[in-house]
Amino acid sequence: MTRREFLKNTLRLTGALAMAGSAIEILKPDSVFSARPSDVRWVFLVDTYKCVGCGMCVRACKLENEVPYDANVTRTWVERYVLTKDGRLLADSPKGARDGFISPRIDLGMGEYREIRPEEIEKAFFVPKLCNQCENPPCVQVCPVGATYQASDGVVLVDRKWCIGCGYCIMACPYGVRFFHPVYKVAEKCNFCYHRINKGLKPACVLACPFDARRIGNIKDPDDPVTKVITKERVSVLKDEYGTKPQVYYIGLSKEVR
Amino acid sequence: MHVLRPLFVFLAFVGIVLMARFLYVPADFGIHERGYMYGWHRKSNEEEWKQVRVKYQGMEYCSGCHPDKNKALRESPHRIIQCENCHGPAIEHPSEPLKLSIDRSRELCLRCHTYLPYPTSNRSNIKGIDPERHNPGIECFMCHNPHKPGPGR
């Protein structure tokens, strides 16, 4: 083989392999199916300045979605963060704030409480949490049976008839939003009140919030007031470093919030 | 011939598995809009979630029959609170349930009106009390009207 032939053949082979590679790329199902985009993508906006920790959202969520009221599981919850002037961080969420925060004492768990004097407090605030309906949901990737999935509008749902209750998704969620439903014995999570948003209603937590701290919107609609806030104002998301692309946006998030 | 026997057993096994799969897996189970990684599911489950019964109806629903109550409340500082936060959820009231429960508990009021000295939260802007000092053990509505909040009557 001459040097010229060798170079020619190498070039041909590289070209042929690249072509074959691109053919595989084109036939990949997710790129084929993503060519059919939906015109709705549900997102959520939480304003932590407005939240007062009344827990009305948690109560409404449990009643709307028939999550057993007295079981210590909930689709949404509110966390309280108290930072003292000497640098201590205290956080609690008794019963997921189902009954709100009606005492200045911090619940440390196991029946222990900590009194904090008002003059000790540097900053204190409430953070509502719910499913982030991630664009790259790790809970969906780990499901071995296809029981949890993302609908075309971005909401991650659980098929109660198909779930085998293995609990992988509960482990996989970096935000800890999934739990076992004590009645159905399957994985359970917030779905932005899928039955309500598809009827043009607000989710139960959004309706119940008196302070407008919780809002829902469609990020694909440029005229949606929530979209305008997310695209034009300063918002942040939880655990950005995990690459899950969470779609619950927060105003006033502090670095202490996990 | 006896050499081929295991092969027939194997083929029969494959056939049974394929048959079981055909009978067990629903027709609409497959790859949907979000692709193989995120959209592998039973399509009809989306419809099942949409069919869940709505329980919280919102204040417009309530004001259809109780316009007087609604008007009075909307003129008060409690106008931002949904009726069903204290009286609900409505579900299909008045047909079902016939009567709605009313939460008159002190704990309900304290969700907002326990004073918490939190400088960076809206909570400290709400008029609040220390529940251990302000008439402990007495229900708030004995002195205050939640539809017309203000100093004791």
Check whether residue B64 and residue B88 sit in a common domain: yes
Query: Least CB-CB distance to B39: which of A149, A160, A199?
Result: A149
B39 in Cβ contact with A150 (< 8 Å): yes
State the average pLDDT over residues A48-68. 96
- Determine the pLDDT at residue A35: 47
B9 within domain boundaries: no
In chain A, residues 115-174 whose CB comes closer than 8 Å to chain B: 118, 121, 123-126, 136-137, 140-141, 146-152, 157, 159-162
- Asked whether residue B119 falls in the same domain as residue B84, the answer is no
pLDDT tens sequence across A145-186: 999 999 999 999 999 999 999 999 999 999 999 999 999 999
Domain membership of residue B82 (yes or no) is yes
Rounded CA-CA distance B31/B37 in Å is 9
Phi then psi dihedrals of residue B112, to 5 deg: -110, -30
Domain count, chain B: 3
pLDDT band at A36 (very low <50, low <70, confident <90, very high): low
Q: Tens-of-pLDDT digits for all 153 residues of chain B?
A: 788 999 999 999 999 999 999 999 999 999 998 988 999 999 999 999 999 999 999 999 999 999 999 998 989 999 999 999 999 899 999 998 999 989 999 999 999 999 999 988 999 999 999 999 999 999 999 999 999 998 876
- Kindly tell me the number of DSSP H helices and DSSP E strands found in chain A: 8, 12
Nearest-by-Cβ selection for B38 from A63, A140, A159: A140
β partners of residue A207:
none
Q: Collect all residues of chain B within an 8 Å Cβ-Cβ radius of residue A118.
A: 117
Distance CA B91, CA B62 (A): 11
pLDDT of residue A161: 95
Could you tell me the residue range of the domain that residue B142 belongs to?
A: 104-153
The answer to whether residue B15 sits within a structural domain is: no
Mutate to test the interface with B, among A64, A201, A220 (most CBs of B within 10 A): A64
CA distance A86 to A74: 33
Model pLDDT, residue B3:
85
Tell whether B91 is covered by a domain: yes
Query: Best residue in A56, A66, A126 to probe B by mutation, most B CBs within 10 Å?
Result: A56
Task: Name every chain B residue with its beta carbon within 8 A of the beta carbon of A140.
Answer: 37-38
Q: Are residues B108 and B153 in the same domain?
A: yes
pLDDT at A11: 94
Domain A138-188 belongs in CATH node 2.60.40.1760: no
